[in-house]
């Protein structure tokens, strides 16, 4: 069976021809002006994912269509059930004496004293694995090849090819040395043609970095 096109809504098909509706390629599933997702990044859930608006609300409930910030996720990321991106529009103003969001309860949105300043974008690299129930906080920057442990609460920066876990998330260990992580980012297998990627699955998922470099097109 050929590898599914990145624009396939439900990319997993069972042997009997039925599709698994609990997993979606997000590029195909989302229609949101403030969320950008790369090819082959998928999201899974314990219930069917069939509606674009509901999928966006599950993934990033505070990323409103009028939000000033963006959520950007790279290619080939793996997003388990219950992962939530808490983007900057979830914030209250917290630099003053009260954090109460008076503006939410009427009277217009412009020039309101309780309106916080626009927050930063949340940026995720390529080939990042998010474990079940992880929460990604506003403005997080997560590097290529990182692994986010189940239930982790992530803020700030996560270096490429690093495993983090816990609340607040802390480094468990590096997957690769800084030098080897830089080599992986130079190889950038996620940018290869999909036929070349699937032909070299063994090198991509293996442990021999020299072999992966030799496989580059």
Catalytic residues: 92
Distance in angstroms (rounded) separating the CA atoms of residues 78 and 24: 11
Tell me if 9 sits within 8 A of 26, measured CB to CB. no
140-146 long-range CB contacts below 8 Å, 24 or more apart?
143/181, 144/74, 144/181, 144/184, 144/185, 145/175, 145/176, 145/181, 145/184, 146/175
Distance in angstroms (rounded) separating the CA atoms of residues 152 and 131: 8
Q: What is the dihedral of CA 116, 120, 121, 125, to 10 degrees?
A: -150
Distance in angstroms (rounded) separating the CA atoms of residues 92 and 45: 29
Distance in angstroms (rounded) separating the CA atoms of residues 145 and 20: 26
């Amino acid at each position: 069976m050929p590898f599914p096109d990145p624009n396939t809504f439900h990319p997993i098909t069972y042997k009997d021809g039925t599709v698994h509706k609990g997993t979606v390629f997000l590029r195909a599933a989302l229609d949101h002006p403030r969320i950008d997702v790369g090819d082959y990044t998928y999201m899974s859930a314990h219930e069917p994912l069939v509606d674009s608006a509901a999928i966006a609300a599950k993934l990033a409930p505070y990323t409103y269509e009028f939000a000033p910030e963006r959520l950007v996720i790279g290619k080939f990321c793996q997003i388990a059930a219950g992962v939530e991106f808490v983007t900057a529009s979830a914030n209250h103003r917290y630099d003053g004496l009260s954090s109460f969001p008076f503006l939410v309860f009427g009277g217009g949105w412009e020039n309101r004293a309780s309106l916080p300043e626009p927050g930063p974008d949340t940026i995720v690299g390529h080939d990042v694995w998010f474990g079940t129930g992880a929460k990604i906080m506003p403005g997080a920057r997560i590097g290529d090849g990182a692994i986010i442990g189940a239930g982790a609460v992530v803020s700030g920066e996560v270096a490429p090819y690093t495993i983090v876990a816990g609340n607040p998330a802390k480094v468990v260990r590096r997957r690769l040395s800084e030098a080897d992580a830089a080599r992986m980012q130079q190889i950038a297998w996620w940018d290869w043609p999909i036929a070349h990627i699937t032909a070299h699955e063994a090198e991509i998922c293996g442990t021999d970095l020299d072999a992966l470099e030799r496989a580059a097109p």
